[in-house]
Amino acid sequence: MQRTTYPSFRETLADSGLVKVAGVHSALGGLLAQEAGFPALWASSFEISAVRGLPDASLLTMTEYLQAAADVQKVAGIPVIADCDTGYGNNMNVAHMVHEYERAGISAICIEDKAYPKMNSFAGTGQELIEAEVFAGKIEVARRARSDLRSYLIARTEALICGRGVDEAIARCHRYADAGADAVLIHSRQPSNAEILEFLDRWQRRLPVVVVPTTYPDWHADDAAKAGVNVVIYANQGLRAMISALRRTYGSIHDLGAADHLTADIASVRDVFRLQRLEEWQHLQP
């Protein structure tokens, strides 16, 4: 089988005014997102944890998250951005992380400025930032650890998530830009994009800006781009759709005692074979 080739995330961003990114947790999800037209993928720690039945609370190891991201990148023809939480530890862990993700072919990573172990941003409690200078040190270490010039480093601030306000979010992102980040991710759990718009109005476009509109999903990507956003990550809609679909499917089979009523609404086995590239593999047989 010929190995899949793909552009780096840095190249993808350079070629586009706005990059829309789909959150995934599996290689199959990556293939479906690529088929839908997305130019990049987000290996979501929330999704990867959830499909193991675990909370997004730093319970899995770097190796487990890396394997999930690498599984996606092996089959996808588009770049993967790896959600690397807080960097899996101290500065030494961050350097090791960069080395390992680069070796796996992951061209973009994102780390955030919360304390380890981190809690998912939408959980009600457990949100704690580390000092900006400490996180800036992690960014500097990650930048120096890179061996591939195409590698892309996104610094994520959780200042708004932790209730610190836009002033602190701006100050932190400027510090992370000084430390060598390639882009900043500004995150909010407010039900509107007001905080994000204030941030963008004051940011002066020093670096590309990444947003994750989970709690304000009505913000159209075109409007986000006009406001100064460069990357929009739809981080968990795929997982949530899967849960709803499986709940309906399993429930109806159990209740009706048969599965024929689902035939028109579910993928055919032939479609699964296509996604698996079964014919390509079968051609290897003598």
CA angle 125, 177, 91 (to 5 degrees): 65
Considering Cα of 54, then 138, then 77, then 226, what sign does the dihedral take?
positive
d(CA 256, CA 243): 20
d(CA 193, CA 187): 10
CA angle 205, 209, 214 (to 5 degrees): 145
Q: Residues near 194 by Cβ (< 8 Å), separated by ≥ 6?
A: none
Residue 15 annotated among the catalytic residues of the structure: no
d(CA 270, CA 267): 8
Q: Among the options 15, 56, 83, 201, which is catalytic?
A: 56
| CB 102 within 8 Å of CB 131 | no
d(CA 226, CA 32): 28
Q: State the Rg of the chain over Cα.
A: 20
Catalytic residue IDs: 56
